[in-house]
């Protein structure tokens, strides 16, 4: 049976553990943590007033849907050894801008006109609709046609 003093000690240790874990983590912050990110300064297709947190959620979505990391589109700053998110030095960022604009246009201009009562949830395309976890979408090869009996 634990006495009161050791229970208090245990509680103190337990309550400290997350703080220790966090401070160890903080020494090597992952580059994609939103509280590390400054306010966006170079948005050309996304809404300029998008909250930074929402922007990062969106960016993580792009990365996941293409099966890449942030550095696929963002250039590294040689001096700071960190990604410079505002920089346009990585040519894939321009490709991605074109793709973002295309995806927004598909959704706003075309898919908004399709009303499918059977599939109310599938109302828009995302990067992953075409990319499916790859940076370059794979070609769809239809299965061979079955011989028809006339």
> What are the residues binding ligand HEC (CB under 6 A)?
32, 37, 40-46, 55-56, 59-60, 62-63, 66, 68, 70, 72-74, 85-86, 92-93, 95-97, 99-100, 103, 125, 127, 129-131, 135-137
Nearer of residues 76 and 103 to ligand HEC, judged by Cβ: 103
C-alpha 133/C-alpha 107 separation (Å) is 20
Closest contact distance (angstroms) between CB of 44 and ligand HEC is 4
Which residue's CB is nearer to ligand HEC, number 6 or number 138? Answer: 138
Calculate the alpha carbon distances from 40 to 51, 78, 126 in Å.
9, 20, 22
Q: CA-to-CA distance for 63 and 69, rounded, in angstroms?
A: 5
Measured torsion, CA atoms of residues 35, 36, 38, 39, in degrees rounded to the nearest 10: -30
Least spacing, CB of residue 24 vs ligand HEC, in Å: 22
Q: Which is nearer to ligand HEC, 20 or 67 (CB)?
A: 67
DSSP state letters, 99-144 = HHHHHHHIIIIIGGG---TT-SS-----HHHHHTT-SSPPPP-PPP
Smallest gap from residue 30 Cβ to ligand HEC (A): 9
CB of 118 to ligand HEC, least distance (A): 21
Which of 76/100 has CB closer to ligand HEC? 100
Written as one string, the DSSP assignment of 78-90 is: TTTTEEETT---S
Closest to ligand HEC by CB, 40 or 76: 40
């Amino acid at each position: 049976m634990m006495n009161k003093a050791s229970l208090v000690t245990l509680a103190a240790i337990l309550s400290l553990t997350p703080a220790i874990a966090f401070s160890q983590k903080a020494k090597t912050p992952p580059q994609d943590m939103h509280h590390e990110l400054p306010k966006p300064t170079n948005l050309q297709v996304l809404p300029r007033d998008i909250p930074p947190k929402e922007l990062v959620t969106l960016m993580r979505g792009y990365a996941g849907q293409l099966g890449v990391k942030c550095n696929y589109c963002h250039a590294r700053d040689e001096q700071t050894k960190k990604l410079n998110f505002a920089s346009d030095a990585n040519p894939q960022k321009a490709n991605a801008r074109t793709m973002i604009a295309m995806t927004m246009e598909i959704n706003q201009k075309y898919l908004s006109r399709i009303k499918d009562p059977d599939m109310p949830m599938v109302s828009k395309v995302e990067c992953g609709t075409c990319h499916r976890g790859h940076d370059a979408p794979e070609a769809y090869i239809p299965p061979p046609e079955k011989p028809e009996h006339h």
